[in-house]
Amino acid sequence: MSQASAYPGSSSGTVNRPDAVDLRSDTVTRPDADMRQAMAEAEVGDDVYGDDPSVNALEAHVAGMMGKEAAVFCTSGTQSNLSAILAHCQRGEELIAGAGYHVLVAEAGGSSALGGIVHCALPVGDDGGLDPVDVEAAIKPDDVHYPVSRLLCLENTMGGRAQTEARLKAASTVARRHRLSVHLDGARLMNAVTALGTSPADFARHADTVSLCLSKGLGAPCGTVLSGPVDIITNARRQRKLLGGSMRQAGILAAAALHALNHNVERMTEDHANARHLAEALSNLPGVTVDLDACQTNMVFATLPEDGWQAALARVGDAGIITAQHSRHLRLVCHKDVSSDGVERTIKAFQQAFT
């Protein structure tokens, strides 16, 4: 069995091919030579004791970027979001978020399973945002029949779409008027920052806590930094421990993250341009439908013809193009390991398979 076929959702294009173009996700990026050098030279200590200078530097750097008081380095976006949610909410209290947001559908139900937290899912707009009217209606009155609405979770980007600061502010303002806390899942926040030409703090000011993932478009091997007020971050650090996320000499990973933040933010515009070029090229193929409006950052969403799409996509895989082959509805993700030449190879492979 090939590695590709052993990996759920992979196409027949094998990840072992040296010339493979891997479009499954921006999580597949690998540390480049400069990042590996930074990791090799990292100062380390015991992070549980607060002694790792590289981790401390990363946490201070991200807190400053977000305009927050403190930060904690977590192993993953899921752990960061869950640590934040557990710090904000008690058992039986309610989390309000968009239907399809990562905290509701792609984190194994952790906040319910481990925190006893009630979920309320709201409709999501075309830009991935929440309507303030829906947020207002979802917040429960002070009545013994209802859970206490405690936290609003926002997400930027969502489905490749970058929400404006005004969009986040509108939903956040309603929540805060009702004394809810606000958490922002910023797994791809820097994609939104580069797409809209703003700063991380412009988005972060509309949330109490923010998760910034480092292992997607930024290209670090793993990790997410949660930032916010000192008291919430202190609690979240305790939750991280409960979740098994305390690390020791984590400076090796923190050094990679610092390198990513210092070198890999502005270059995200290349990913966005590559995605747009790919989207426009695929939209010209017979029977292929592409949501061009959704291609605002590094993602392409395409729907393949009903007839013969499996065989055609297999031919794309044979050309060394790796996709997440769940159905004829594709999400293709550009990232730092996909060059403009790789995009051209992808376009050629799809043209040969679907014409």
pLDDT grade for 113, boundaries at 50, 70 and 90: very high
Instruction: Out of 191, 218, 249, pick the residue that ends a domain.
Output: 249
Q: Give the mean model confidence (pLDDT) for residues 281-299.
A: 96
At 18 the pLDDT is 80
Give the other-Cβ count within 10 Å of 69's Cβ: 13
Which candidate, 73, 38, 37, 70, places its Cα nearest to that of 52?
73
Residue 243 has pLDDT above 90, yes or no: yes
Give the CATH number, domain containing residue 343.
Answer: 3.90.1150.10
65 and 147 in a single domain? The answer is yes
Same domain, yes or no, for 284 and 162? no
- Tell me the pLDDT band of 13, cut-offs 50, 70 and 90: low
Long-range contacts of 275-282 (CB under 8 A, 24+ apart): 275/160, 275/299, 275/300, 275/332, 275/333, 275/334, 277/340, 277/343, 277/347, 278/332, 278/334, 278/343, 278/346, 278/347, 281/347, 281/350, 281/351, 282/347, 282/350
Answer yes or no: do 26 and 96 share one domain. no
Among 223, 249, 275, give the residue marking a domain's end: 249
Q: Give the number of other CB atoms < 10 A from CB of residue 314.
A: 14
Same domain? For 78 and 144 the reply is yes
Tell whether 37 is covered by a domain: no
Residue 240 has pLDDT above 80, yes or no: yes
Mean of pLDDT values over 197-204:
97
Same domain for 343 and 221? no
The pLDDT of residue 176 is above 80: yes
Could you tell me if residue 330 is inside a domain?
yes
Residues 245 and 284 in one domain: no
Helical spans, DSSP H, in 96-157: 102-105, 110-115, 132-138
Give residue-wise pLDDT tens across range 26-68.
999 999 999 999 999 999 999 999 999 999 999 999 999 999 9
pTM of the model: 0.94
What is the number of structural domains in the chain? 2
335 and 272 fall within a common domain: yes
Residue 205 has pLDDT above 50, yes or no: yes
Q: In this model, does residue 203 exceed pLDDT 50?
A: yes
Q: What is the CATH number of the domain that holds 64?
A: 3.40.640.10
**Which among 2-16, 89-103, 324-338 has the top mean pLDDT?**
89-103
6 has a pLDDT exceeding 80: no
The CA R_g of the chain, rounded to the nearest whole Å, is: 21
Same domain flag for 281 and 236: no
The residue among 220, 249, 278 that closes a domain is 249
Tell me, yes or no, whether 23 lies in a domain: yes
Establish if 259 belongs to a structural domain. no
Q: Is position 36 within any domain?
A: no
Is 317 found in the same domain as 340? yes
Give a yes or no: residue 40 inside a domain: no
Given pLDDT bands bounded at 50, 70 and 90, which one contains residue 14? low
Same domain, 56 and 189: yes
| 12 pLDDT higher than 90 | no
Q: Are residues 160 and 124 in the same domain?
A: yes
Neighbours of 245 (CB within 10 A): 19
Same domain, residue pair 151 and 207? yes
327: CB partners within 8 A, 6+ apart: none
Mean pLDDT of the chain: 94
Domain that holds residue 157: 45-249
Confidence of residue 8 (pLDDT cuts 50, 70, 90): very low
Task: Give a yes or no: residue 254 inside a domain.
Answer: no
* 35 found inside a domain: no
